[in-house]
Amino acid sequence: MLDTLSDKLSGVVRNLSGQGKIRESNIQDALKDVRNSLLEADVNFKVVKELVERVKQKALGAEVWKSLTPGQQFIQIFYDELKDLMGGEAADLDLKAAPPIPILMVGLQGSGKTTTTGKLGKLLKSRGRRVLLVPADVYRPAAIDQLRTLGNQLEIDVYPSTTSMNPVDIARIAVEHAGKLNYDIVLIDTAGRLAIDDEMMAEVENIKTAVKPREILLVADAMTGQDAVNTATKFDQRLGLTGVVLTKLDGDARGGAALSIKAVTGKPIKFVGVGEKLDGLEVFHPDRMAQRILGMGDMLTLIEKAQDSMGPVDEKKAAEQVRKLKNAEFTLEDFLEQMKAMKKLGSLESVMGMLPGMGAVKSAMKDFGAAEDQLKKFEAIIHSMTPRERRSHSLLNGSRRKRIAAGSGTTVQDVNALIKQFDGAQQVMKKLSKGGFGALKGLFPGFPGG
């Protein structure tokens, strides 16, 4: 996500950091690189022009802070402008209304609208809301079945629409049905088209008139760049959008849509879709996105993911893990537990993207799929060990390694690679034990510092 833009902007900041003072000449050079990077990232030309001008005026007029280098000053100004460009702060759903609250999901075909409807239902359910999913797309083959299947997976009720019904009637009757059965929120999945047309818009306008939705959310594919911005503009003109959900943001290395939509349409990005899993919908935080773009990471989101996936922290268990690390008693059994915990946070690439300063590592490490496969091998290898071998890998002689390799479907070389990497990690942990464990406190609540 936004890797290309992040890499280029990090380079601009590095070049400016070597300067002793912010001058108009070095600012001009830096802003030229910034402008080119943003345009290559498919950010709207007018948005880029106005952003660069604001950064220039603030950078040249900035009071020189003795505590900051020119590079740090520039990045602070640029960070503030990026954050404001994307809306400044998170914009949540407006649910201050009497239930049932209709929410209209609109967008082009292929944008991920139906899946996003299910993901949003899951998110609202996790907040304690009783949700009804309504399939109102009677044109696309299997669209109704798709939402029904998602509802079953998520244990969320789905209104029994049929292809013989009129979409406007489906929406109106479903909201009435939801009122009788005390649902809090009604998510209406409307039909998409391959392109915007009057027939499509008229139908959605009629649904809007029939159910008076509290929110009208456009689901747009981030990978379509400025086409997503143009789509948002046209939908807003006809329907009056309240917000946008950007899907496939993890697949967009450029990021132009994320940086342009709010500035062009005035409507906030409320959620972003990341990954294929049904919990892959996140509230959009402009400040956190600006941090990611500038290579600062996104520790807050990572911490929230850790809390959501791992549940309440066992303070005693966390303290015991630290004690083991400090005393070089961390075992392959412990390592297996940590791998399982990390898998719950998402892919290796997405986790690394949220860690500060990992941009260069991500750029160098192109094949994340191979790394994920290696971790799966390691997990299989450890599962093939006896509990005693996991606790003391010094027992692993040649015959034991052959048995473990055969049992895990790997090779002796794979087993040797695991042991070698594990021994190397233990050496790093010994060094960290001299004072570096405090850095881990932020990631896992209850993790005590050194």
Query: pLDDT by residue (tens digit) across 261-273?
Result: 888 888 898 998 8
Question: Are the beta carbons of 270 and 92 closer than 8 angstroms?
Answer: yes
Say if residue 365's pLDDT is above 50: no
* Verdict on whether the full-model pTM lies above 0.85: no
In this predicted model, which residue has the larger pLDDT, 197 or 225? 197
Range among 124-138, 183-197, 254-268, 374-388 rated most confident:
124-138
Confidence of residue 362 (pLDDT cuts 50, 70, 90): very low
CA 359, distance to chain mean position in Å, is 16
Asked if pLDDT for residue 447 goes beyond 90, the answer is no
Band of the pLDDT at 21, cuts 50, 70, 90? low
**Is the separation of the CB atoms in 86 and 269 below 8 Å?**
yes
Q: Using CA atoms, how far apart are residues 331 and 397, in angstroms rounded to an integer?
A: 17
H helix or E strand, kind and range, residue 405: helix 398-408
Q: Could you tell me which residues are beta bridge partners of residue 283?
A: 271
Tokens of 245: 């959900």
Note the pLDDT of residue 353.
Answer: 52
Which value, in Å, is the radius of gyration of the alpha carbons in the chain? 25
Inform me whether the pLDDT recorded for 302 exceeds 80: no
Least confident of 155-159, 250-254, 272-276, 337-341: 250-254
What does the alpha-carbon distance between residue 382 and residue 380 come to, in Å, rounded to a whole number?
A: 6
Q: Cβ distance 382 to 390 under 8 Å?
A: yes
Q: Which of the following CATH numbers is that of domain 301-440: 3.40.50.10420, 3.30.70.1520, 1.10.260.30, 1.10.150.20?
A: 1.10.260.30
Mean pLDDT, rounded, for 146-163: 91
Q: Do 286 and 296 touch, CB atoms closer than 8 A?
A: no
Pairwise pLDDT comparison (400 vs 376), residue with the higher score: 400
Q: What is the pLDDT of residue 156?
A: 92
Rounded to an integer, what distance in angstroms lies between the CA atom of residue 301 and that of residue 305? Answer: 6
Give the per-residue pLDDT at 247: 86
Give the pLDDT confidence score for residue 217 in this predicted structure: 94
In terms of phi and psi (left: phi > 0; alpha: psi -120 to 50; beta: otherwise), the region of 210 is alpha
155 vs 317 pLDDT, higher one: 155
Q: Thinking of the domain 3-85, which architecture would CATH place it in? A: Up-down Bundle (1.20)
> Which of the listed ranges 60-64, 68-72, 373-377 does the model predict with the highest average pLDDT?
373-377
Name the token pair of 313: 């922290």
At 106 the pLDDT is: 92
Which residues are 105's β-sheet partners?
Answer: 189, 217
Q: Give the range with max mean pLDDT: 235-249, 278-292, 414-428.
A: 235-249
Q: For the chain, what percent of residues have pLDDT higher than 90? A: 21
List the structure tokens of 6: 């992040």
Q: What's residue 400's pLDDT?
A: 92
Percent of the residues in the chain that have a pLDDT greater than 70, as a whole number: 68
* CATH architecture of the domain formed by 101-295: 3-Layer(aba) Sandwich (3.40)
Q: Hey, what are 282's tokens?
A: 């996140």
Q: How confident is the model at residue 361 (pLDDT cuts 50, 70, 90)?
A: very low
* Averaged pLDDT, 283-306: 64
pLDDT exceeds cutoff 80 at 384: yes
Domain borders along the chain are 3-85, 101-295, 301-440
Q: Is the pLDDT of residue 4 over 50?
A: yes
Instruction: Indicate if the pLDDT at residue 133 is higher than 50.
Output: yes
Query: What is the rounded average pLDDT for all residues in the chain?
Result: 76
